[in-house]
Structure 1
Amino acid sequence: MIDSSWLTEFPDMSRRDLLAIRQTLDGAYRTFSRAYGESIENFFNPLLHFLVWFENLLLQTPWWLVLAAIVGLVYAATRSWKLCAGVLASFLAIGYFGMWEDTMRTLSIITVCTILSICIGIPIGILMARSDRARSIITPLLDIMQTMPAFVYLIPVVMLLGIGRIPGVIAVVIYAIPPVIRLTNLGIRLVNKETLEAATAYGATPTQRLFGVQIPLAMPTIMAGINQTIMMALAMVVVASMIGVKGLGQPVLKSITNQYFTLGLLNGLAIVALAIIFDRVSQSYAKRAQKHLEGTENG
């Protein structure tokens, strides 16, 4: 007869091996955090100073001046008085219900996270578009980043940098950056090959083709990626509030733990209002840019 006693021992052996692996990895990460945590924190100090400065700028500037600047930026991007009126009404309602300061804090961190995502994501997307090897390496990483539960991002970041704004920014950027990378890669790859061949025939270098032909033609797709990145960053606001990121997420978290329905509803609606504003403005800007590009080509 075949000895099957090992079958009953196998689960215990697997659990012991798994426990040993987990303890080894946890110990290695703790050692890494103690050795390099302070250096990494110092590396992010300029970003922290900029974020604090920008947040204080929004909070200390008179509300009417901030509101005028926001409406002015919306009009410059969209040339739509209707959209400007909607933005004005939304921010007046936010101020009336006492959510102005939290909204400014959320606006500051979303703006910083979006700028970081664009500055990091677009070059990576360009690299993926120009190199099939880079795309084959980066695509699985993006798959992991998009499918990993948002709470999981907080664990290594908090262990490394503690609780505060910078861990929140890092977690938000990791969660929100995949769309702008994917759609930058897609937009550049979808540029008409005949157009690229024509540019090459006129003597354009690869850099000139990239910045003069591919990126302008891919801009609507890139803007769609930026739009999705902003939406995902806003969706991460409540989760980031768990590690000390101030803003609209903290009242929502407080309302969940204390069952304050109205508090959670109002702050949730403020987040929705920001999301709709960013969505409409970015889409309108992308349409205007596309029309301008088509007009230039026809001319």
Structure 2
Amino acid sequence: MPSPQQARAQASAITSGKSAPEAGAAPTSQLRELFDGPRLSPGQRRIAQYLIEHITEAAFLSITDLAERVGVSQPSVTRFAAAVGFSGYPALREKLQAIALKTLGSTPSAPAEDRGNELQAAVDVEMENLENLRRDFADPDQVIELGRALSQSTPLTVLGLRISVSLAEYFAYAARRIHPDVRVVTRGGSVAYDALLQSREAGGTWLLAFGMPRHAQETLTAVRVARSAGLKVALITDLALGPLADEADVTFTVGTGSRLVFDSYAAPVVMSAALLQAMTDADPERTQARLEEYEQIAEQHQFFLKD
């Protein structure tokens, strides 16, 4: 009889193909698609990131107000509009307003008396992050494809520095149940360089990196080392644009909760679990064999309490 984890592995396989677009793509996904194509300058990335983070307000700003909010010149905003394929700022703003209005229409503001306290507001932010992730998952093919690639990378290296250590440790802990060689890097500098170079020399092909705010310079350096060594990089982060995303072969952008003193990571954890599921689906025979072996060891050594 399969263990609960084995049964879940069998029952939770991801189905390829787009589901019905009941709510449309998340605003972040639409803006990322809009801005990801062209190679933007650092100043243009600042404009793009501001629009992504403040779409419902920024879409209705004049060119003067937008330039002032971002801290750039008006000609810079005009050049940005041209760089992302529009005839000028008015045409770009029309597109942004269409996205913003759909966002406002799909998430009506709660009455003041229903908004609750700060803890409830923090939960509301995470619910919105998860809803955006749910929309992104309407087409799971990229998750499936990356899960297959991570499954085939032996060894598979997982990187998370500073605040991202916990996410890397969670992913690596679970991945070791279904993958024969998972290496986790949670220290930067020369320690990270050694681990990444050794992973490539041992035959590894992919690095999965977590980059949460505040984004560490040493994470960017480690990702660049990985690429120079010949590893492909998959990135889970909260920023669709910027130096980290520029270095990645595949980027999944997920929101973080920032209403409390320390950020919360509901969406990044679900994103991690989705990739683990995709790795499970990629090689079901190996998955079942490894889970069976682990259950036998766990039973033999009494790892867990009897529920």
Shorter-chain TM band: under 0.3
Structure (1/2) with the larger helix percentage: 1
Larger C-alpha radius of gyration, 1 or 2? Answer: 1
Structure (1/2) with the larger strand percentage: 2
| Alignment TM-score, normalising by the size of structure 2 | 0.24
